[in-house]
Amino acid sequence: MLFGLLAGLIAVLVPCAVFTEAERNFCYSIVSKVNRHTNCGVDWSLPLTEEQAQRAISCDHEQCDEPRRGDPVAVFWAGYNDTACFRIPTVITSHTGTLLAFAEARLTSCSDDTDHKLVLRRSLDGGTTWGDLIVAVDGIVPCEGCPASVSNANPVAVWLQGGRAAILLHFNTLNNPTQLVHGVAMQIWSFDDGLTWEGASVLTYPPVHNIGGLIGPSVGLQADDGTIFFSARQPERGTFLYWSSDFGASWRASELVPTDEFGLDECSIAWLRNSSDGEILMNCRTRLNERALMTWTADGLPGRVTYPGLTDENCQGSLLNAGGAHFLSHINSRWERAHLQIHRSTDGGKNWTEVRKVRRGAAAYSQLIELGAAPRGGGIRLGIIFEGGTWCPYEVIGFWQFTFRESAARRTALSVDSPA
C-alpha cells in the first residue's frame, strides 16, 4: 500500500515520458506493477451477481465526480453467463435502431491470452435493458499450441448494394501476436440485426500481409459512397487504415505507419468532417502518455502525427464525430486506469475542452455512440460503454447515456491530471 502510494507519487511528479525510450519502458513496467487499477487484470477473479454488478458500476462510493441523472447499466460482468471476465467493449446502432453491445467473453480468466468468444447483447429500448447473450464468434485456434482467443470486436452497420442492411464484424484470432506466432484478421456477417452470424472469412488487404494483429478495438465506418473503413496495427510493424469499396468483398490497406516511431496503438477512427468525403481523423494511445492524433485522406494517405495535449495511461479510448464536433473518451491519468473522461473538439482535434467526467474510480476501455437528437431542450444524446469497477476496471462493462448541450459545456483546461 505504502509502496503503491510512493510509486504513484513518483509517477505523478516524474512522468515516465521525460525519459529516453528504453528508460521510459522500464519506468512504465514499474508503475504498472504497483498500480492496482492497471495490474489487477490477470489473477483477479470475482464472480458477481447482477445486483452486485449494477452496484459496482453505479455512481455510489464517490465513483462519479458530479451528480447526474441515471447510473450506468451493467451490460457484461465477471460471472455473467458463467464467464470469468468480459473485456474490450464496443457498441453500434443497427439500421433498425437496435443497440448492439459487443465484448470478448474471456472464459476462464481476464487474461489476454486464454480462450475467448466474441459475444453481444442487443437493446431494443436505447440501452436501458439488454437481451440474452449471443455468441457472434466461437474460439478459433490459429496456430499450433495457440489459445482460441478471438479478440477485438469491431462492428459496423452497413448498407449493401440494393439497400440491404447488414452488420459487419471484424476481429482477430490470437491476442498479442508476434510476427512468429500470430493469427489472422477475419470478418463475419449478420443479416438479421445481430441475432445470428455467418460467412466468417479471412481478410486479404494488400499491400499489407494479413498476419493478424489488433483491429481497433473500435467501430468501423461506412462513407456515403459505400466505402467501409477500419484501422489496425500489426505486431512490431505499424498502424494502418484499410477499406473496402465493394461492400466488404475485398479490402485494400494504406502503408504502415511505424509504431516504433510514435508508439501509435489501439487507434479509434471517426469522420474528419462527415461521411460525405471519406476523410478520417484517428486517435491512438501511445507510450508517451499522451494521445496521438492524425488525419487520413479518403485514399488512405496518412497526415502528420500530432499530440494535442490529451493525457493517457496508454489505454484504449474512443473517438466519435457527432453534432458537428469530435468527442473523445479516454483515461485522463498517466499512471492509473481510472478517471475516464470525455473531451470535445470543434476544430478538427486541435483544441479540446472537457465535457464529462464519466468515472472517477477504476475504468479502462470505452466506446462512444451517438443516440440521436435530445427529445427536449436541444442538444444530442450520447452513450458510452466502458469497463469499470470498484477496485479493478475489469469487473463490469457498463452503458451510460447523457444529453450534451453546447451551452452547458464545461470550460475546463484540457488534460489536467486529477489526483486520485
Ligand X SMILES: *[C@@H]1O[C@H](CO)[C@@H](O)[C@H](O)[C@H]1NC(C)=O
> What is the distance between the alpha carbons of residues 30 and 9, in angstroms, rounded to a whole number?
13
From candidates 75, 100, 133, 232, binder to ligand X by CB under 6 A = 133
The vertex-56 CA angle with 51 and 61, nearest 5°, equals 125
Q: Tell me which stretch binds ligand X (CB under 6 A): 177-185, 230-238, 268-276, 314-322.
A: 268-276
Q: Which is nearer to ligand X, 290 or 336 (CB)?
A: 290
Using CA of residue 162, residue 245, residue 384, residue 44, what is the dihedral sign?
A: positive
Min separation Cβ 29 and ligand X, Å: 32
From candidates 96, 196, 201, 274, binder to ligand X by CB under 6 A = 274
From candidates 164, 273, 405, 410, binder to ligand X by CB under 6 A = 273
Min separation Cβ 350 and ligand X, Å: 4
Place of cell 455512440: 369
Min separation Cβ 54 and ligand X, Å: 15
CB 94 within 8 A of CB 167: yes
Q: Is 81 in the site for ligand X (CB under 6 A)?
A: yes
Min separation Cβ 308 and ligand X, Å: 6
Cβ neighbours of 60 (radius 10 Å) = 12
Q: Which is nearer to ligand X, 65 or 277 (CB)?
A: 277
Cβ neighbours of 266 (radius 10 Å) = 25
Q: Tell me which stretch binds ligand X (CB under 6 A): 86-94, 194-202, 228-236, 269-277.
A: 269-277
Min separation Cβ 297 and ligand X, Å: 13
Whether residue 308 is preceded by a cis peptide bond, meaning omega within 30 degrees of 0, is no
Using CA of residue 195, residue 201, residue 203, residue 204, what is the dihedral sign?
A: negative
* Contact track, ligand X, 215-254, x by CB under 6 A: ----------------------------------------
Q: Is 414 in the site for ligand X (CB under 6 A)?
A: no
Min separation Cβ 8 and ligand X, Å: 30
Q: Is 49 in the site for ligand X (CB under 6 A)?
A: no
CA dihedral 212, 232, 313, 279 (to 10 degrees): 180
Q: Is 351 in the site for ligand X (CB under 6 A)?
A: yes
What is the DSSP annotation of 108-153? Answer: S-S-TTS-EEEEEEEESSTTSS----EEEE-----STT---B-EEE
Min separation Cβ 324 and ligand X, Å: 8
> What is the distance between the alpha carbons of residues 196 and 75, in angstroms, rounded to a whole number?
19
- Residues lying near ligand X in the complex (CB under 6 A): 81, 132-133, 135, 273-274, 276-277, 350-351
